[in-house]
Structure 1
């Protein structure tokens, strides 16, 4: 756990659940998987293969992480389990209950939970959650007599009545979607899961993703009528439209509140085409959904500007005769970007590293966060 983090949209990271397994293309170059063997709490959770270190599928809890969160009194935006997945198939249900109990007991924090196992998350929320979490709250209070330098009855006083306060207003739930297939698999589960805020992490973004079926303000998804559902909307998802206004029009109530997009970093990172990210930015703008652009990652995109100049996404301009290598295909620091044509604009990609590539999208830094 870290009380500070370089993640732009969080103040701290807490790794209560450690360990995972490769599930989809976005996992291929997982930084947590490659670095796990360096940390005592995660040693033995990966194994060396011809392709590098790979998760074994074993998971491990770190109870000290829960204790730390209970002791933090200053409000923080906490990203949970960056080195694991709370809803991994090997995680016991009681671990999930315990984390939710701690989140319930710390209303001063914003808790953000991200998963690739959307189906298990949806199933978890369909059970008898309130009773189980209440039991864990009682156990925490009994075991941690003075976790916040106060009496246990004071801690009980801040515990919410889960029958009245559900879903927890300070818990945000999200799913990772690296491409359209994963979006269509996971977002319906997210929509069917009760949450104060729902978000999508499109990182690493490996292809174009169309979200308009999930939050189109024109009503293209559900025909603009609350009585009608398209095939995309899960049958048990909340209504997508609120009551009609005075002019008789149905007001759109987006069920996805936040989209985070970013490219891949690390030695084997794959380039992210700017048009994929621009599309997400524009979709969010049209639907009134908060948009955060986290990073370009390892590869900096360059596009033709006023001849003979090329312009980069971090604001540089260069004469392309001096910029581009004579044999771009043979240069490991360049990708010609021809794989994106003709569907997308032509960009060339230069390997410069995450810091140098920056996080400006068409000259603008996007850091919007939803208001609960």
Structure 2
């Protein structure tokens, strides 16, 4: 857990559930999977293979981290489980109930929950028994003295623990539910589940973006004109073995969000900085640099590990190139602007 984080779109992280399993191409370079062995409490969650560190599928609940938001009075945006997936198949419903109980007891915070297991999230939030289970966990936390003050219990007065309690309103107004997608196939698989999940705020984390994604095929509004999608985050991959992200893919998502009036947050280019033709003979990078193209490129761009000509990514696109400079140097400027859109 961390009160303060380098993740650009949140204020704090709470790693109540740790451990996962590789599910799709976006998991290949998972930073949490690479780092888990460095922490004593997470050892055994990964194992060495010929391809590097890989999740074992074991999951663990960190009770201390779970309860931390109860002690935070200043409002924060809290990202849950950066080192796991709350809706992983090995996570019991009882653990998920505890997370939602903490969310219900801390209305001062905005809780951000992101998953690749969209079908389970949809089933869990649609279960008519879920509000009662969460309510009972809230009462138990109150009885145990874990909740020093909560607007929820202040409104209830001296009400006793009730097996039929239904006072936890679903969807919770302060919970943001998101799915992670990296390409069109994963978008087609997961976004329909997200849009059908009861939620006050629904969002997409399109990171690492590994190919073009068309969001226009999904409804932004429901049958009663209620908004179904509230936020889109986009980012490239960083770290060892990171894959480049084509600027055309990012521009497309930016423009789709603008057309649909959905807040757009561009998180990072990742490891690779794109260069594209500017005013001839200059080329310009997404960090704002300009260079004469004759001086810019090595003699054999494909033989230099710091450069990638990008032809593999979009064969029919005008020529471009990626320079490997690291996440910090690549930055998060898109066509000269930063994009920090957030849900209202």
Q: TM-score, normalised by structure 2?
A: 0.94
Partner of 1:200: 204
Aligned to 1:123: 123
SS at match of 1:214: coil
Q: Distance in 2 between matches of 1:344 and 1:205?
A: 17
CA distance in 2, matches of 1:329, 1:129: 54
1:258 aligns to what?
A: 231
Matches within 5 A, 1:84-99: 84-99=84-99
Report deviation, 1:155. 6.5
Provide closer, same or farther for how the CA distance between residues 360 and 162 of structure 1 changes in structure 2, counting only shifts above 3 A: farther
Q: Which residue of 2 aligns with 1:132?
A: 133
Instruction: Give per-residue Cα distances to partners, 1:111-144, cap 9 Å, x unaligned.
Output: 000000001111112221111111111111122x
In the alignment, what sits opposite 1:225? none
Residues 272 and 296, structure 1, Cα contact 8 Å, conserved in 2: yes
Cα distance between partner residues in 1 of 2:44 and 2:87: 20
CA–CA separation in structure 2 for the residues paired with 1:113 and 1:122: 13
Structure 1 residues 202 and 341: CA distance shift in structure 2, 3 A? closer
Give the paired residue count: 336
Residues 132 and 168, structure 2, Cα contact 8 Å, conserved in 1? no
Q: What is the distance in 2 between the residues matched to 1:3 and 1:189?
A: 31
- Please state if 1:166 is matched with 2:170: yes
1:69 aligns with 2:51: no
1:141–1:155: 8 Å Cα contact kept in structure 2? no
Question: In structure 2, do the counterparts of structure 1 residues 164 and 44 end up closer, same or farther at CA, with 3 Å as the change threshold?
Answer: closer
The structure 2 residue matched to 1:358, chosen from 324, 331, 335, is 331
Q: Distance in 1 between matches of 2:278 and 2:98?
A: 54
The verdict on how the C-alpha distance between 1:322 and 1:80 changes in structure 2, with shifts beyond 3 A counting, is same
Contact 1:309 1:320 in 2 (8 A): yes
Between 1:41-50 and 1:353-362, the stretch displaced more is 41-50
Residues 343 and 136 of structure 1: is their aligned pair in 2 closer, same or farther, counting only changes over 3 Å? farther
What SS does the corresponding residue of 1:122 show, helix, strand or coil?
A: helix
Would the aligned equivalents of 2:209 and 2:237 in 1 still touch at CA under 8 Å? yes
Alignment check: 8 A CA contact 2:104 2:152 kept: no
Q: Distance in 2 between matches of 1:288 and 1:120?
A: 28
1:343 is displaced (CA, Å) by 3.8
Structure 1 vs Structure 2 CA RMSD:
1.7
Q: Tell me the CA shift for residue 26 of structure 1.
A: 0.0
2:300 to 301, 308, 327: 327
| Deviation of 1:306 (Å) | 1.5
Distance 1:6 1:335 in 2: 27
Distance 1:85 1:341, change over 3 A: closer
**Partner residue, 2:161:** none
1:308: Cα distance to partner?
1.6
Q: Deviations over 1:259-307 (max 9, x none)?
A: 0000000010000000001000000000000000000000000001122
Find the aligned partners of 1:343 and 1:370 in 2 and give their Cα distance.
36
* Shift, 1:344, TM fit: 3.2
Shift in Å, 1:350: 0.2
Q: 2:36 maps to what in 1?
A: 36
Q: How does 1:340-351 map to 2 (within 5 A)?
A: 340-351=313-324
Secondary structure (helix, strand or coil) at the match of 1:135 reads: helix
User: In the TM superposition, what is the alpha-carbon distance from 1:345 to its structure 2 partner?
Assistant: 3.5
**Alignment check: 8 A CA contact 1:175 1:201 kept:** yes
The offset of 1:241, in angstroms, is 3.9
Corresponding residue of 1:109: 109
Give the TM-score, by structure 1 length. 0.87
1:147 Cα deviation from its structure 2 partner: 4.1
Q: Over residues 84-137 of structure 1, what are the superposed CA-to-partner deviations in whole Å (9 max), with x where a residue is unaligned?
A: 000000001100000000000000000000000001111112221111111111
Alignment of 1:218-233 (within 5 A): none
1:187 aligns with 2:191: yes
Residue of structure 2 in register with 1:49 after alignment: 49
Tell me which of 211, 220, 240 is aligned to 2:222: 240
Residues 31 and 266 in structure 1, CA contact (< 8 A), matched pair in contact too: yes
Determine the C-alpha separation between the residues in 2 that align with 1:265 and 1:70.
33
> 2:269 touches 2:330 (CA, 8 Å); kept in 1?
yes
Tell me, yes or no, if the aligned pair for 1:199 and 1:256 is still in contact at 8 Å: yes
